[in-house]
Amino acid sequence: MIAASAFVVLAVACTSSKGGSESASLADSLKAAKPVNPESLLPKKSLVDSVSYYLGVNYGPMFKQYDFGEINYNLVLKGLKDFIAAEGDMKDSNFVKQFKYNPEDMGAAINKLLSQRNEYKLAVNSDKEQKFLASNAKKEGVTVTGSGLQYVISEQGNDNRPASRDTVYAHYKGTLLDGTVFDEVPADQPSAEFTLNRVIAGWTEGLALIGEGGKITLYVPAELGYGKRGTRGIEPNSTLIFEVQLDSVKHYVAPQAK
């Protein structure tokens, strides 16, 4: 019994000693660990600014494509903040009442704005065209056709002229009245290939006036160009100016009947 009691005392002493060592180690560890400041985990201002800019660039194409004009960007930001701050289920009919304007009316409002901007451009460009063509027609060397196309031939070329169903190979530069180049195939690049009845009417008519090797400047009224609809980089009712060099002509060959 004495031996057994001595063993128990020894075991307790060892246990107490071990426990004390572990407690001291844990205390030292907690004492050595520095508290983390949550604020230090937030992204830096430089990163926030970068992402903010990227978000603007991300939505930029939509603003540019539809040409909203002088948009009030302060209200764009307010609408964004209002939506983020809005509470409740977006499917709830009361959700939209939190905004200054009803988002359900957005489509109609955007269409109205774009329609009015388009009408404005049509009127402005039409006025510019009338003044330009009236003045240009009086210049020396300018010829006006029955369709309203104006042109100046600087080199006539040979007798091999294209017809409407022929394929032409050409170098050219297309500009707007303000000198903006909207399309170009410069001399150091291969010729562009077109089927003459698949381009704008001003080209179909104008290139038939010269032969291979010929050079012509075309002043194309909007109705012989892209008209009231315009196209990418060209506003509605835009007058177009082309400097064209007709390199070669590939005549249309009708398929043989079997």
- Is 182 a member of any domain? yes
Residue 148 covered by a domain: yes
Predicted confidence at residue 45, as pLDDT, reads: 93
| H-run or E-run covering 87 | none
pLDDT by residue (tens digit) across 145-168?
Answer: 999 999 999 999 999 999 999 999
CATH of the domain at 173: 3.10.50.40
56 in a domain, yes or no?
no
The answer to the question of residue 14 being in a domain is: no
Q: Which amino acid is at 104?
A: E
Q: Is pLDDT above 80 for 16?
A: no
- Evaluate whether residue 194 is within a structural domain: yes
Q: What is the rounded CA–CA span in Å between residue 220 and residue 231?
A: 15
Q: How many CB atoms lie within 10 A of CB 234?
A: 19
- Mean pLDDT for the chain? 88
190 is a domain residue: yes
| Residues 98-139: tens digit of each pLDDT | 998 888 898 999 999 999 999 999 999 999 999 999 999 999
Full DSSP string of 162-175 = PPTTSEEEEEEEEE
What would the pLDDT profile of 183-239 be if each residue is shown by its tens digit?
999 999 999 999 999 999 999 999 999 999 999 999 999 999 999 999 988 999 999
Any domain includes 134: no
User: 180 is in which domain, residue-wise?
Assistant: 141-250
Number of neighbouring beta carbons within 10 Å of residue 93: 8
Domain total in the chain: 1
CA gap 216, 76 in Å, rounded:
48
In whole angstroms, give the CA distance from residue 13 to residue 17.
6
Q: Please check whether residue 201 lies inside any domain of the structure.
A: yes
